[in-house]
């Protein structure tokens, strides 16, 4: 008589536990690569921008006063230029990264740049353009 599916499953999990195998493929077993990190970052910046715009819109509806009064409040805090530049850089970075990486994806959509060296090269170009354009926007 054969074994039941439950017995087979128990034997499978006992073997994996004994051999110290992970339950499922996990980030710790993958070698991180630039395209992988950029894909994760692209999704993260998209989520962050969606949340930021949504929260800004809700705040604009819920908070008393208008934009000019909130801007005056920020000016009255007398924040240093380094802190203001850093905040502007942090706000501009997700937008610029998502934009440049989106253009990279559009070139992939037309069938260009799929060879591994081209993928890494376009990734480095996206990162350089992101940093340059973010720094320029934050300096405005």
Each residue's pLDDT tens digit, 88-119 = 999 999 999 999 999 999 999 999 999 999 99
Q: What is the mean pLDDT of the chain?
A: 91
At residue 1, the pLDDT reads 56
Q: What percent of the chain has pLDDT over 90?
A: 65
Give 30's pLDDT tier (boundaries 50, 70, 90). confident
Considering only CA atoms, which of 10, 32, 30 is closest in space to residue 22? 30
Determine the 3-state secondary structure of 79 from DSSP: coil
Give the mean model confidence (pLDDT) for residues 11-27. Answer: 82
Each residue's pLDDT tens digit, 38-57 = 999 999 999 999 999 999 99
Residue 70 neighbours by CB under 8 Å, 6+ apart = 63
Give 127's pLDDT tier (boundaries 50, 70, 90). very high
Sketch out the chain's domains with CATH numbers.
Answer: 35-139 (1.20.1300.10)
The verdict on whether residue 105 carries a ligand-binding annotation is: no
Residue 23 neighbours by CB under 8 Å, 6+ apart = 16
At residue 31, the pLDDT reads 81
pLDDT of residue 77 exceeding 80, the answer is yes
**CA angle in degrees (0–180, nearest 5) for 57-62-49:** 20
Considering only CA atoms, which of 139, 39, 31, 52 is closest in space to residue 95? 52
Give the pTM: 0.74
């Amino acid at each position: 008589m054969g074994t039941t599916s439950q017995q087979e499953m128990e034997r499978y999990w006992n073997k994996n536990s004994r051999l110290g195998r992970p339950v499922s493929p996990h980030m710790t077993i993958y070698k991180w690569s630039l395209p992988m990190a950029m894909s994760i970052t692209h999704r993260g910046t998209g989520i962050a921008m969606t949340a930021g715009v949504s929260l800004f819109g809700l705040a604009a509806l819920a908070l008393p006063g208008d934009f000019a009064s909130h801007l005056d409040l920020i000016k009255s805090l007398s924040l240093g230029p380094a802190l203001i530049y850093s905040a502007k850089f942090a706000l501009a970075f997700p937008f610029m990264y998502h934009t440049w990486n989106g253009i990279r994806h559009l070139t992939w959509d037309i069938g260009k740049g799929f060879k591994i060296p081209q993928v890494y090269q376009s990734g480095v170009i996206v990162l350089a353009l992101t940093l340059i354009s973010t720094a320029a926007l934050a300096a405005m």
